[in-house]
Amino acid sequence: MKNTPRRRVSMQSVADAAGVARSTVSFVLNGKEKEGRISAEVAQRVRRVAKQMNYQVNELARSLRTGQSQTIALIVANISDPFFGRLTYCLQEYAEKESYTVIIFNTGENRERLTKIFTLLRQRRVDGIIMVPVANIEEGVIEDLRPDVPMVIIDRYFPKMRTSCVCIDNYGISTKATQLLIDKGCRKVLFVTFREKLMHMQDRKKGYADVLREHNLFDENLICEVDYFDYREEIKVVLQDAFKKNPDIDGVFISTGFLSPIVLKVLVGLGRKLQEDIQIISFGRTDLALGVSIPYIQQPLEEICKRSFNILMDLIKDPDDRVIEHILPAQIITDSE
């Protein structure tokens, strides 16, 4: 016996069953009952009937009618990084509560891939974009490539780019992290980071350097930079060389959680007892089973997602030439918490 295709329930069918006009159903199901001066009782009846009849909104028709797709794009740098994985999950959960679908793209820090992503987004007609910029990309490249829709940059930023952004106070939290190591008695603090020009990394490095300079402890040779794509090959050599030249290194500030696991493994391999011979602090929690608690910088992920989504919604509703910026505080989670 052949299965008969299930017929789609129309808005008119819901209106007939609820005993109201089709326009009333439209107002209610689009959340505009107040604009239509529809009573709470009628709105409740319409929603109940629509649910009973399993009415599904025709997204294509609504998109053509309103000019909006109820879809946004999230572009992240590396979804395998725990930070970006959690950020993606958090934003998707928040957006879905607001009836928005999120299309997720992973650049892998590859600028060529970004070109393809932006081309696809022009074709898909998304309402807006939330993006983590690719490492070592010039701000002009993004401006030239981006589709003509509102965009909010998160995590990283460009000082001269007129685009709304949500970031943490990278400089401020890095000064606090460095001061914490000094307060623990560290006098030779190694800074481990990626070799890149993006401002959030530069702010972290500057915060570290400024505090050490205040204490007359800064040594440019204690800044270890590795290439993003070749860090696994570089990091061991760079750290071994640093400790060979400075065997009295007693503190390490890891500027990105992505590097933390491999840096800690190398330090253990060099025979260093973590939080005894050497004090560590890192961006992002490290889940390695090391038997010690490593202080880390915790970024306000939920707040970053909430702020960036709300800013994007404001720009979608009122697409003028505004630039909205939010700098959020981060916090240090110590071994006693």
The per-residue pLDDT for range 121-135, each reduced to its tens digit, is: 887 778 999 998 887
β-pairing, 101-106 with 128-131? unpaired
Q: pTM of the prediction?
A: 0.77
Same fold, 69-168+301-329 and 170-298: yes
For residue range 279-300, list pLDDT tens digits in order: 999 998 876 667 788 999 999 9
**pLDDT value at residue 251:** 96
Q: Which residue has the higher pLDDT, 21 or 206?
A: 206
Sorted by sequence, the CB contacts under 8 Å of residue 53 that are 6+ apart come out as 9, 13, 14, 17
CA dihedral 254, 258, 259, 261 (to 10 degrees): 100
Residues in contact with 291: Cβ distance below 8 Å, sequence separation at least 6, in sequence order: none
What is the model's pLDDT at position 68? Answer: 58
**What's the pLDDT at 122?**
80
Q: State whether residue 75 is helix, strand or coil.
A: strand
What CATH fold (topology level) applies to the domain 170-298?
Answer: Rossmann fold (3.40.50)
Q: Determine contact, residues 166/154, Cβ cutoff 8 Å.
A: yes
Question: Which residues, 6 or more positions from 186, have their beta carbon under 8 angstroms from its beta carbon?
Answer: 250, 251, 279
**58/52 Cα distance (integer angstroms):** 17
Domain ranges of the chain: 11-57, 69-168+301-329, 170-298
Structure tokens belonging to residue 81: 């990084």
State the Cα–Cα distance between residues 321 and 323, nearest whole angstrom. Answer: 7
DSSP strands (E only) in the chain: 71-76, 101-106, 128-131, 151-154, 164-168, 189-194, 223-226, 251-254, 279-283, 296-298, 325-328, 331-333
Buried b (16+ CB within 10 A) or exposed e, 152-190: bbbbbbbeebebbbbbbebbebbbbbbbbbbeeebebbb
User: What's the pLDDT at 157?
Assistant: 77
Residue 39 has pLDDT above 50, yes or no: yes
Q: 179 and 240 in contact (C-beta within 8 Å)? A: no
More confident residue, 61 or 34: 34
pLDDT of residue 249 exceeding 90, the answer is: yes
d(CA 33, CA 50): 15
The span from the CA of 201 to the CA of 168, in Å, is 12
Does residue 178 have a pLDDT over 90?
yes
296-298: strand order across its sheet = 223-226, 189-194, 251-254, 279-283, 296-298, 331-333
Angle between helices 260-269 and 231-245 (to 10 degrees): 50
Q: What is the pLDDT of residues 299-326, one digit of tens each?
A: 999 999 999 999 999 998 887 777 888 9
What's the confidence (pLDDT) of residue 7? 60
Amino acid, res. 12: Q
**Among the CATH numbers 1.10.260, 2.60.40, 1.10.12, 1.10.3470, which is that of 11-57?**
1.10.260
In terms of CATH, what superfamily is 69-168+301-329?
A: Response regulator (3.40.50.2300)
